Each structure stands twice: as structure tokens, then as C-alpha cells.
Structure 1
Amino acid sequence: MNAIVSPLHSRDTRRPRVMVVGAGWRFTSGISYYTCRLTNAFSEVTDTSAVLMRQLVPTRLYPGRARVGRAVNTLQYVPEVHVHDGIDWFWGRSMRDAVRFITSERPDVLVLQWWTGAVLHSYLRLARLVRRYGGRVVIEWHEVQDTGEARIPGVTRYVVAAMQQLLRRVDGHVVHSRYDLELLRGTYPLPEDRVVLAPHGPYNHYDAADVDGERDGDFVFLYFGVIRPYKGVEDLVAAFELLPQAVRSTSRLVLVGETWEGWTAPLDAVAASPVRDRITVVDRYVDDAEVAAHFAAADAVVLPYRRSSSSGPLHIAMSAGLPVVVASVGGLVEAAGDYAGVTFVPTQDPASLAAAMADLPARRGERFDDPHSWDRTVDAYGELLTRLGLPGLMSDSAAGAPERRGA
């Protein structure tokens, strides 16, 4: 491959300045946390800044509209990161301010987090700006397109057409799994030599100090995450009902997550369940302190997805060392394949799900090491940037120093 070297970098031996663009905290979602964790990880090895997408869409159109603007996060950007918050979908002054910020920071690499078509027009504007002065543009793909968006007439056609415009200005791509890569290549032409695999980093920022050790009382199976059609939570309710009576009578099922897209099938299943007195539902987006408390109280995490490219709750569970039962779908097999505490089950199969769950109470208190690290993510970016002819990025662990734990 012929490396691409612009005059900006031809005699430059320093580490490249990185700017991450992704979800802000006003419309808090899993991508908000990922954007923050990735940015903080970059900041440990090079000068780093962040531009946050602030008002993603008109508030009335957002599934979690009732909580928009409410602070639920304790996770923060480290002081070393310059943060601009942020860009609104309608632009106005917000885009003018963002352009000034980017022009001042002058990043060598613009890293765009991709998860929703709502940001596409803004990403195109930022990519044009950075490419104009010789910077590089990288997309980190979290999925091809949000499933809820894809059901809106005309949205998929718009996203594919506009993405083609953006891709002409993109130098490299980061994906989390081979599954995601094949899925993406079914829609977009991603050059082989401009793509790297970067496993999702750990979500070890929750203070769950009491997670280790056995507890008295009922065994707690936890489902955590927004409740949407593809999450399969109704399959979990059915599986809990199928547990042997001896297990079910000493267990509880806790469902924690905000209902999206009007999908009430899991809640209806709970209401009609003969064991509903052993099921707890928390139908809202909980804050970070509550997240830590729910995972500290859990004995196992169950994720019965029907499709998924990646899962933040899976990474929280692995960071906590908990046993996990997860459907063998999408990118989850690769994400948890090296985790000793995982049990994979077929999707949409409550009987198999129940069988896996029934084995766990006898192993109560077992904990496992999370094989993931943000160093691996930074190193994958370093490999990509080297391919693009930029100075290298190398994590402390790759350079021989002890691996970071708090990125």
C-alpha cells in the first residue's frame, strides 16, 4: 500500500493530535459513555480534544424525551481533554462555534463515532473542514444504522446516499468485530488496507466495590439496557418462568431499562406472568450511581438479544466479573468469546436460556477477569494511523509500561 503523507505531517515526528466527535450528555446514551472513555484513553498518549453532538434531534422525536438534559452521568472527561459541547442538529451558532474550536485545535486526526443518521450532515461538514487543511478523518462504526431509524420511510435512503458523500472524505475505518465488518461491507465499500479491528474497551468506571463475594438471600438475574424490540427481553421473562421451581423460588429477575419505540411486550409479559411477584421492573434510564448499585447487587447478567453489533451492558458485566448469559448473535460472540464467565445460548430460545440460567446459582460468587482494555483500542488506532502515514500512537502497555486501569 502507498502511504498517504500530506505536507502537514511529512517532517512531523510527534504523536498526532486526536479529536473525537461523538454523543454528548444532553441525550445520554451508550455512545455518550463510549465517546468519553475513548477520548480519555487517547488523552493518556497524545494531545486530545472532543466535540460533542448536543441537540441530536428535536426533543419531541427522541424516545427518551422525558430525560433529555437531565444529568445521569458521573463519568467525566479528564481535565487534559479540551471539550466543545456542542453541535445542534439545526447548526446555527453551534456549528460556527464548533468550526472555530476545530480551527483552533487543528487536530491531525478527526475520529467520528457513527451510530445515527441524525449526525450525518454535521459529520460531513466537519470532515470537509479537517480535510481542507490536510488532516485525516476516521470513522469508528458502532452499527450500520439504528434499527429504529431504519423503519422511518426515506431515512435509510438518505443515510446511504449522504454516507457515500462522507466516505469520499474518510481515510480509515475502525470496527469492533469481523461480524460488523462484513455487515458494513454489504452496504459500503470499505478498503481492506484502511480498516482495523478494535475491540470495545472495558466499562470499569462504575464504583461497584461490593460486587465480589457471596450474598445471602435470593439469587439475582439482571437484565440491563434500554428495552427495544430487538433486545428480546420478553424471551427472558419466559425463560424465568421455565426455571425449575427450586431455582425460581430462590431467585429474582430484575429488569432495568428505559422503554423505547413503544415496545411494551416485555412489560406486558411481566404483568401476565404467574411469577410476577419475583420480577422487578425499573422502567427508566438510571443514573451512574444506580447502575453501580444494580450490578453490585446482581449475581449474573442475562442479555437475550435477537440482534446486536455490540453491547455496553455486556462490557459493564465483564468489567464487574459477573457470570453472563448472552445470545450468540452479531458481534457479541467476538466481544465475549475470551471471557471465561460467558455462556452463549441460541437467540429466541427461552428453554435454552432457562437451562443456562438454572446452572448459575450453584456457582454463586464466582468472578472472572475482563480480557478487554482501552490499550488494545488505542493500539489498533495506532496501527491504522501508521498505515495512513502518520506518526504512531502507542499505549503505555504496548511500550512496556504497566497497563492503565482508569482510562
Structure 2
Amino acid sequence: MAEPLLHYGNPETWRKAALRLKEFAPDGVILTWWVTFWGPHFGLLARNLAQFTRVVYLCHNVVPHEKRLLDAGLTRWAMAPARGYIVQCEEDARQLREWFPQASVRRCGHPIYPLGDGPLPDRTAARRALNVTGRMLLFFGFVRPYKGLDVALQALASLGPEWDDLHLWVCGEFWDDAEHYREMIRRLDLSGRVHLETGYQPQAELSLRLAACDAVLLPYRSATGSGVLADAYAHRRPVIATCVGCFQDMVVPEETGLLCRPGDPADLAQAIVHFYAAGAERFQPGLEAALRHYSWDAIVNAVEDLLEYEATDHRSDRVHRQPIGGILP
């Protein structure tokens, strides 16, 4: 049974957690990082852990997308005791090299989520269940300003009347005011073509929407790793994404999706037109290859490689990375 050890609001647990972990005599301890909020207790925990073992940070993103004044300094302080880092994009690797020139960094794309042994949801049945009759694009996950939903709405509005059967489904929790987007939808005359489903989506409901859609929209202004991209790939759905962060590595144009410029509604609209002109089926071989390429074994290998490398005490500024570019044989 799991033993709760660490509470962010109780500094005494930060030390006790390290002492409890010491009893296991671990070869290393992996700390998962994605928000500066963890800075104070992770920083002290890492310093205690570093006295008897190797600390590795597994970074979803090094600094938050919506940056604040203390983010860089607090993150750097929290991560300083680590012996190694695993990141998901070159931007984060570059940031860590700047802060810690002798750091050992491994770059590994976000693994694709396993969906169990059962078959994928049936597309025809999913569209029938959701009453989808035309073309459908999906935007899902936490809705935050950096993810560019406003750009997607402007792109959709710019398409001509022959695109009136194209519907955008937005599914997820809003981090800012959802009313701002509702007002934008009304102003752009998109009320009949944009479906807002606010709040948490259980996996079964999300899988149904992924099965029904033609592609997933990722019009982000910035990105590091992306669980949304991994979920899209797991459901064999191509993406229309921007040239930022991990998308530049993990989205292979014309194989697993299309790329466009960030913050550019016209370029996104052009990518949407191009996507439908050639058809979605052409992406299936690339998506199957992506499933094999971005496995969880890659993360395991990165951790083992990093711990073994650090065990020799040969610190390096080298960045080990997965191959990028085309993934089809």
C-alpha cells in the first residue's frame, strides 16, 4: 500500500520524506517537475536526497508557459541539486544547459499512452453517438491562453461558406474565463459550429470524441511536452499543430500531421484546407510508426542510461536525444 510521505504545506515532511526514502537505499530518485509551485519543497527535498543518492528530474516543462517573476530563479534553485534531467524538447534542454553547463540531460519525446488490449472505439458508432454528420476537428485538454484556442476560432471563422459543415469541438477545463471564448464565438458567428464541453472529460468520453474527429488541433503559442499529442497518436488521429516545442520533433509533416506558424490564424486555416484536400487516411502509416517509436521503453532507457552514466561520475554537457525527422522506415 502506498505510504503518503510529502505534504507541500508541511516543511517537516520535506525532511522526513528524504529520511524515509534513504531506508530503501535507492540507486536514484526521480522527481517529476512541471510547475514552479513545487519549488520550495522539491528544492529542499532534492538537497536532502542528494546526500545519499542521485536525483533526476523528469521535466514536463522546465518553466511554466505563463511565466511569472520568480519562476526562473525558483526553478533553478530547486533543480540545482540534481545529477541529471530528462526533458521532452530541445528548448528545455537548452535552458538547462544554460543554467547547469555540466549537467547530464536526456531528451525523450512524450510516450504514447497505452489504451489497453481492447479495440479502439469504432469511428462510425462514435459519430452516430455524438450526432456528428460533417467534418469535425477536436481541441481538448486544459484550455489555457498559451494553447491558442482564440487562434483556432479566428481560423475557423475565416473559412468560406463551403466550410459550414466543419465543426470544432472544444473539450476540457478552462483555466481562464470560458465566457471570454463564448463571447468570441458569438462575435465570429460560430455559435452553430463550435461545441464547448467545459469540465473534466473521463477517458471513455474523450476516446469517443477522438474516434469521431478527423484531426486534433494544437494551435499552441508555446509547448514543451504534450500529453494531448500523445493521446491523439494513441487513437491514431493526425494533428494540425504549430512549429513550437515538442511538436517540431514529434509531428512529422505529411506523415503524422501538419505544422503551421504559431499565432497565425491565416496559416492555420490554410493548413486545415490542405488537410482535408488530401484526406486523413494518408496519415495512418505514419501514426502506426509513431506508436512504435514513442514507446514507454524510451523513458525507461533514458532513466537507466542516465543513472548508469552518472554512477561513473562523468558529468557531461552532452544531450542524448531520440532521432527526429521522418519516422517511417
Question: So what's the TM-score if we normalise by structure 1?
Answer: 0.66
1:92-133 Cα offsets, whole Å, 9 max, x none, are: 67557634642443322111111112212222333233333x
Partner of 2:149: 233
SS of the residue corresponding to residue 387 of structure 1 reads helix
1:385: which partner in 2?
307
Match of 2:93 among 161, 164, 181: 181
Instruction: Report the 3-state secondary structure (helix = DSSP H, G, I; strand = E; otherwise coil) of the residue aligned with 1:340.
Output: coil
**Residues in 2 aligned to 1:180 and 1:233: alpha-carbon distance in whole angstroms:** 24
Is 1:353 paired with 2:268?
yes
Tell me, yes or no, if structure 1 residue 130 matches structure 2 residue 49: yes
The one of 45, 64, 67 aligned to 1:146: 64
The answer to whether the Cα contact below 8 Å between 2:43 and 2:77 also exists between their aligned partners in 1 is no
Alignment of 1:375 onto 2:287:
no
| 2:11 and 2:41 in contact (8 A); partners too | no
**Residue 45 of structure 1: aligned partner:** none
User: CA shift at 1:166, angstroms?
Assistant: 4.3
Aligned to 1:326: 241
- What's the CA shift for 1:158? 5.2
- Note if contact 2:137-2:214 (Cα within 8 Å) is conserved in structure 1: yes
| Cα deviation code 1:30-78 (max 9, x no counterpart) | xxxxxxxxxxxxxxxxxxxxxxxxxxxxxxxxxxxxxxxxxxxxxxxxx
SS of 1:377's partner is helix
Higher helix share: 2
Partner of 2:111: 201
Distance 2:295 2:65 in 1: 28
Deviation at 1:171, TM superposition (A): 1.0
In structure 2, the gaps of 5 or more residues are 313-329
The alignment's TM-score, normalised by the length of structure 2, stands at 0.80
Matches within 5 A, 1:31-70: none
Q: Measure the CA separation in 1 of the matches of 2:72 and 2:231.
A: 34
Alpha-carbon separation, structure 2, partners of 1:333 and 1:309: 10
1:242 alignment counterpart: 158
Instruction: Give the whole-Å Cα distance in 1 for the aligned partners of 2:177 and 2:300.
Output: 38
- Separation in structure 1 between the aligned mates of residue 106 and residue 101 of structure 2, nearest angstrom: 11
Match of 1:336 among 251, 263, 270: 251
SS in 2 for 1:105: coil
Distance 1:348 1:324 in 2: 17
In the alignment, which residue of structure 2 is the partner of 1:273? 188
Instruction: Point out the more displaced range, 95-104 or 258-267.
Output: 95-104
- In the alignment, structure 1 segments of 5+ residues that lack a partner are 1-81, 391-407
Asked if 2 retains the 8 angstrom alpha-carbon contact of 1:211 and 1:295, the reply is no
Per the alignment, residue 67 of structure 1 pairs with: none
Match for residue 9 of structure 1? none
1:119 aligned onto 2:38: yes
Name the Cα RMSD after superposition.
2.8
The one of 101, 106, 121 aligned to 1:210: 121
Q: Amino acid of the residue matched to residue 385 of structure 1? A: L
Name which of structure 1's ranges 343-352 and 93-102 shifts more when overlaid on structure 2: 93-102
- Percent identity over the alignment is 25
Match among 8, 28, 53 for residue 109 of structure 1: 28
